[in-house]
């Protein structure tokens, strides 16, 4: 007997179909006969939302009336993915939906496809925030996600006829969006500019302009917890309806100008990843959502109180700063407590310090945000004063602790010219965490070493995780069924460590064969999907080898594409007989920041390598490269279950954690990777013999930098590497035009900051090991299954439990 614990609503398919009909008729004003799949999608979404409504109310009232501290997850990005399937799963309405849609005469796939993914994040950081709020709801922990409802999310990527990336705006809100509920009556005023004056011995900020922050609420339903939390995304509206006087003079554009300017604040998500952009509008965005969220939390937790006792604020809510983007919240809470509620500095500092915690997501020094003081002074003059005072207090504290002058200077939050947000966050909050063991160690040893010397107790680690609901249960129904069969229960969906129970089954050849059949069926599915969506002809009987993530030099897509080119050259030159080649299909997915030149060149190169190889009869069926455009959560959910081998090949010490690596291991792909980020922990858990490790370690990388790295040496020493780079340089992938990849080649040969060339030998060497194993399907699948069985730790539920225990000191509602 298999134990089934998945939520299942008592609503029947017939009832659900009636609810959809009702919604169509009375809210949307269309009959079932007139309805298009997009109408049914909207109606079904509204119907599910109604089913979640009582739990949502109850969670909110229990949160405010109970004694459980809530979590406020402050994040500039939430990369949610599509909502409908996830909401149906958690509401226990999946089967009823499928049946109801068919009964109404529609195809389930058409209706589900009508949902447009909200692209409110760049990549891993935003997806992490989405996984975390899913897990908090599933654990029954009261929580808010706080962020921005960007009108334009991450750009939609296309490729032109030369294989170059084109960015087009993502008009995700042009059609009806049934999930976000705009609440004009819970708005907040957020002010900017102006000056600070003294009145009766008190500092008073006289801002120059204000915008209206209006919340858009998204339900965040927990799985089998009966809880529904809130993702509150702020949108900016103008207070100035248009200026009638100007309008009467028929200067229409001038009349609406203040409106347009105010609303610019929530207009676009900056398409940057791993590098901050020092734009005034970006600082405005950060302050906008953080200020609105702090005021919102006061409204929620002290309802109707004119003089709330905010000394208890840190007992009501703890704010997690997802990277430095929301760090302006620290001086903001100080200001609110002092200027709006009359607390003295020390009281305000104690509350602020207790309220905030900071997650650092990088080690790349260029990615730590630093704002010019001038800009902060112009936009937020009172905050700059507070930051200066924090700096004075900080310097005095360090001096009292016996820190020398030079170090105090090195550690300055405020240097006079600029404000270092990571330092402000570290000093201003209670805890700082890295996102994988290795990363947290490097934060303490390198990036924030001075801080960890003085405040060792602040530092901790929480290894990232991913939600098993979206990335296993929804994305991979076949594997989910097999896991449930193997374990005799579906409880693993909310207790992923139970996957460990699959380990003995790795010795059972029959079970391993079932596991292999699941992978094969998923590959056929993906091949069909790729045909339908992209027109690709992917052979599901070849190894599917993936590399999907943002395009960045440190992630080293260049290493992969150079190895592909070398392989191509091997076959072309006859170094390897075509018949001896194990057939492989390589699938890339990646967006590059629009201003990131080398990343965009790499995209162009991959596309053109794909074009040349896929059209060359000499390698037909042996080596194929595909690059589906616009990598997003939807594509991730389709691709990951079909992967045989996944690439996690960043330069050691550069990927803070990675979460793609976790998704692939959980879906039964083998990983080829470096000792970086969470790869280290994945390998520890699944066993060294079940992970393809290669490449330099952090120490070896450091030693090579110290010695003076010369990429040319590696180029000269390895004829296969040389041949690959020469093919890029000689126009093989640019119709003979030698100029197209000039800059990329020049960078490889003269700089190669992330040591792609140095790791090339080790990377290509391990490929023969990989192919030898893949030639024994039973052994390959046994190892892949062992990966699944030992990856339960990488659930974001476990990450949340670690945060709750080490940082937030709170737990589920009673
Ligand atoms: C998981 C995920 C990422 C993060 O991938 P990494 O390999 O960890 O960089 C980025 N984008 C999407 C759409 C994801 O689902």
3-state SS record for 289-356:
HHHHHHHHHHHHHCCCCCCCCHHHHHHHEEEEEECCCCCCHHHHHHHHHHHHCCCCHHHHHHHHHHHE
Q: Is the CB of 549 under 6 A from ligand 1?
A: yes
The three-state secondary structure class of 277 is: coil
CA-based nearest residue to 324, from 256, 438, 421: 421
470 inside domain: no
Angle (CA) 553-366-284 rounded to 5° is 115
Assess whether 39 and 121 both reside in one domain. Answer: no
Assess whether 130 and 269 both reside in one domain. Answer: yes
CA-based nearest residue to 133, from 90, 173, 187: 90
Cα of 126 from ligand 1 centre, angstroms: 9
What ligand 1 atom has the least distance to the C-alpha of 550?
A: 9
What ligand 1 atom has the least distance to the C-alpha of 632?
A: 13
* Other Cβ atoms closer than 10 A to 450: 16
CA-based nearest residue to 246, from 236, 259, 237: 259
* Other Cβ atoms closer than 10 A to 597: 13
Assess whether 164 and 248 both reside in one domain. Answer: yes
469 inside domain: no
Give residue 262's pLDDT.
86
788 inside domain: no
> Tens digit of pLDDT for each residue in 122-142?
999 999 999 999 999 999 999
Integer Cα distance of 725 and 756 in angstroms: 12
Ligand 1, pocket-test mutation among 548, 646, 799, most atoms within 8 A of CB? 548
> Tens digit of pLDDT for each residue in 202-261?
999 999 999 999 999 999 999 999 999 999 999 999 987 655 555 566 676 676 676 778
Assess whether 316 and 253 both reside in one domain. Answer: yes
Cα of 368 from ligand 1 centre, angstroms: 20
Cα of 470 from ligand 1 centre, angstroms: 13
Assess whether 617 and 712 both reside in one domain. Answer: yes
Residue 73 pairs with which residues in a beta bridge? Answer: 145, 320
CA-based nearest residue to 354, from 316, 386, 381: 316
**Could you tell me the residue range of the domain that residue 585 belongs to?**
519-771
Cα of 589 from ligand 1 centre, angstroms: 10
Integer Cα distance of 678 and 646 in angstroms: 14
Q: Is the CB of 635 under 6 A from ligand 1?
A: no
The three-state secondary structure class of 368 is: coil
Integer Cα distance of 239 and 253 in angstroms: 17
Give residue 579's pLDDT.
87
DSSP of 595-635, one letter per residue? Answer: T-HHHHHHHHHHHHHHHHHHT-GGGTTTEEEE--SS--HHH
503 inside domain: no
Q: Is the CB of 782 under 6 A from ligand 1?
A: no
| Cβ atoms 326, 74 nearer than 8 A | yes
Assess whether 99 and 140 both reside in one domain. Answer: no
Residue with the smallest CA separation from ligand 1 atom 10 is 123
| Cβ atoms 363, 443 nearer than 8 A | yes
41 inside domain: yes
Helix (H) / strand (E) containing 168: strand 165-168
Active site residues: 361, 549-550, 555, 659, 663
Assess whether 93 and 139 both reside in one domain. Answer: no
764 inside domain: yes
What ligand 1 atom has the least distance to the C-alpha of 635?
A: 13
Integer Cα distance of 149 and 165 in angstroms: 25
Assess whether 136 and 49 both reside in one domain. Answer: no
| Cβ atoms 466, 633 nearer than 8 A | no
Cα of 694 from ligand 1 centre, angstroms: 22
Assess whether 110 and 124 both reside in one domain. Answer: no
Give residue 67's pLDDT.
86
Cα of 549 from ligand 1 centre, angstroms: 5
| Cβ atoms 641, 522 nearer than 8 A | yes
Cα of 647 from ligand 1 centre, angstroms: 12
Angle (CA) 4-7-13 rounded to 5° is 105
CATH code at position 525: 3.40.50.2000
Assess whether 575 and 455 both reside in one domain. Answer: no
What are the contacts of 290-293 at 24+ separation with CB within 8 A?
290/74, 290/146, 290/326, 290/328, 290/329, 290/332, 291/188, 291/190, 291/213, 291/329, 291/332, 292/188, 292/190, 292/213, 292/215, 292/234, 293/72, 293/74, 293/144, 293/146, 293/232, 293/234, 293/319, 293/329
Integer Cα distance of 325 and 328 in angstroms: 8
Enter the tokens of residue 68: 């459980």
Give residue 1's pLDDT.
80
The three-state secondary structure class of 473 is: helix
Cα of 43 from ligand 1 centre, angstroms: 30
Assess whether 407 and 440 both reside in one domain. Answer: yes
Cα of 150 from ligand 1 centre, angstroms: 20
Residue with the smallest CA separation from ligand 1 atom 7 is 660
444 inside domain: yes
Integer Cα distance of 454 and 87 in angstroms: 46
Enter the tokens of residue 84: 């409908």
What ligand 1 atom has the least distance to the C-alpha of 658?
A: 8
DSSP of 369-397, one letter per residue? Answer: -EEEHHHHHHH-HHHHHHHHHHHHHHHHH
The set of residues, in sequence order, having a beta carbon less than 8 Å from that of 386 and lying 6+ positions away, is 331, 334, 335
Give residue 363's pLDDT.
85
Residue with the smallest CA separation from ligand 1 atom 9 is 549
Residue with the smallest CA separation from ligand 1 atom 1 is 660
Q: Is the CB of 636 under 6 A from ligand 1?
A: yes
| Cβ atoms 442, 653 nearer than 8 A | yes
Residues in the chain predicted with pLDDT less than 50, given as ranges, are none
Residue with the smallest CA separation from ligand 1 atom 6 is 660
Ligand 1, pocket-test mutation among 659, 663, 794, most atoms within 8 A of CB? 659
Q: Is the CB of 660 under 6 A from ligand 1?
A: yes
Helix (H) / strand (E) containing 784: helix 777-789
| Cβ atoms 223, 490 nearer than 8 A | no
* Other Cβ atoms closer than 10 A to 644: 23
Give residue 578's pLDDT.
84
Assess whether 239 and 340 both reside in one domain. Answer: yes
Residue with the smallest CA separation from ligand 1 atom 11 is 123
Q: Is the CB of 658 under 6 A from ligand 1?
A: yes
| Structural domain total, the chain | 3
Ligand 1, pocket-test mutation among 77, 121, 124, 439, most atoms within 8 A of CB? 124
313 inside domain: yes
What ligand 1 atom has the least distance to the C-alpha of 555?
A: 9
Q: How far is CA 384 from CA 37, 205, 375, 429, in A?
A: 52, 11, 9, 18
Q: Is the CB of 124 under 6 A from ligand 1?
A: yes
């Amino acid at each position: 007997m298999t134990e089934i614990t998945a939520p299942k609503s008592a609503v029947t398919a017939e009832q659900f179909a009636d609810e959809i009909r009702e919604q169509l008729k009375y809210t949307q004003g269309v009959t079932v006969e007139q309805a298009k799949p997009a109408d049914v999608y909207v109606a079904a979404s509204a119907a599910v939302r109604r089913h979640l409504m009582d739990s949502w109310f109850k969670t909110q009232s229990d949160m405010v009336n109970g004694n459980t501290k809530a979590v406020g997850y402050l994040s500039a990005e939430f990369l949610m993915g599509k909502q409908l399937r996830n909401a149906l799963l958690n509401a226990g309405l999946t089967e009823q939906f499928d049946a109801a849609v068919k009964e109404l005469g529609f195809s389930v796939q058409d209706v589900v496809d009508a949902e447009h993914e909200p692209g409110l994040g760049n990549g891993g950081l935003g997806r992490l925030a989405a996984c975390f709020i899913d897990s908090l709801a599933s654990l029954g922990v009261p929580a808010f996600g706080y962020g921005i409802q960007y009108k334009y999310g991450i750009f939609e990527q296309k490729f032109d006829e030369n294989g170059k990336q084109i960015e087009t705006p993502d008009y995700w809100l042009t059609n009806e969006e049934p999930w976000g509920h705009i609440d004009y009556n819970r708005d907040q005023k957020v002010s900017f500019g102006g000056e600070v004056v003294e009145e009766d011995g008190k500092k008073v900020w006289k801002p120059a302009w204000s915008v209206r922050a209006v919340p858009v609420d998204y339900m965040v339903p927990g799985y089998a917890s009966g809880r529904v939390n809130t993702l509150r995304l702020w949108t900016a509206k103008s207070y100035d309806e248009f200026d009638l006087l100007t309008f009467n003079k028929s200067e229409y554009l001038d009349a609406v100008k203040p409106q347009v300017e105010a609303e610019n604040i929530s207009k676009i998500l900056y398409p940057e990843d791993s590098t901050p952009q020092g734009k005034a509008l970006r600082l405005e965005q950060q302050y906008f959502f953080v200020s609105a969220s702090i005021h919102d939390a006061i409204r929620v937790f002290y309802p109707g109180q004119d003089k709330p006792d905010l000394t208890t604020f840190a007992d009501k809510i703890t704010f997690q700063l997802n990277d430095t983007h929301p760090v302006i919240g620290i001086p903001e809470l100080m200001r609110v407590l002092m200027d709006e509620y009359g607390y003295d500095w020390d009281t305000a500092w104690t509350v602020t310090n207790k309220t905030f915690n900071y997650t650092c997501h990088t080690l790349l020094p260029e990615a730590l945000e630093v704002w010019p003081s001038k800009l902060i002074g112009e936009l937020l003059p009172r905050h700059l004063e507070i930051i200066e005072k924090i700096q004075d207090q900080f310097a005095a504290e360090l001096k009292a602790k016996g820190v020398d002058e030079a170090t105090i200077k090195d550690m300055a939050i405020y240097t006079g010219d600029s404000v270092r947000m990571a330092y402000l966050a570290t000093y201003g909050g209670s805890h700082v965490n890295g996102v994988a063991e290795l990363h947290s160690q490097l934060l303490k040893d390198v990036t924030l070493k001075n801080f960890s010397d003085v405040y060792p107790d602040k530092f901790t680690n929480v290894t990232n995780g991913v939600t098993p609901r979206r990335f296993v249960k929804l994305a991979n129904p076949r594997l989910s069924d097999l896991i449930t069969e193997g374990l005799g229960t579906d409880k693993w969906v909310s207790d992923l460590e139970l996957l460990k129970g699959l380990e003995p089954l790795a010795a059972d050849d029959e079970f391993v064969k079932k596991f292999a059949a699941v992978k094969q069926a998923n590959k056929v599915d993906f091949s069909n999907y790729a045909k339908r969506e992209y027109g690709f002809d992917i052979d599901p009987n070849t190894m599917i080898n993936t590399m999907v993530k943002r395009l960045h030099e440190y992630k080293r897509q260049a290493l992969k594409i150079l190895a592909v080119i070398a392989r191509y050259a091997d076959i072309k030159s006859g170094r390897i007989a075509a018949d001896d080649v194990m057939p492989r299909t390589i699938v890339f997915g990646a967006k590059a920041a629009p201003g990131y030149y080398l990343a965009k060149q790499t995209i162009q190169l991959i596309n053109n390598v794909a074009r040349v190889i896929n059209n060359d009869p000499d390698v037909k069926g042996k080596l194929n490269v595909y690059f589906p455009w616009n990598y997003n959560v939807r594509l991730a959910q389709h691709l990951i279950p079909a992967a045989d081998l996944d690439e996690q090949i960043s330069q050691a010490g550069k990927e803070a954690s990675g979460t793609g690596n976790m998704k692939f291991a959980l879906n039964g792909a083998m990983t080829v990777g470096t000792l970086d980020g969470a790869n280290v922990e994945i390998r520890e858990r699944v066993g060294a013999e079940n992970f393809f490790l290669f490449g330099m370690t952090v120490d070896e990388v450091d030693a090579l930098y110290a010695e003076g790295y010369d990429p040319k040496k590696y180029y000269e020493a390895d004829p296969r590497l040389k041949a690959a780079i020469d093919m890029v340089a000689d126009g093989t992938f640019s119709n003979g035009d030698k100029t197209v990849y000039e800059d990329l080649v020049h960078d490889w040969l003269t700089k190669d900051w992330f040591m792609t060339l140095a790791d090339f030998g080790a990377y290509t060497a391990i490929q023969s090991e990989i192919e030898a194993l893949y030639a024994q399907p039973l052994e390959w699948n046994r190892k892949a299954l062992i990966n699944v069985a030992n990856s339960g730790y990488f659930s974001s539920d476990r990450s949340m439990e670690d945060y709750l225990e080490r940082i937030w000191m709170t737990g589920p509602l009673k």
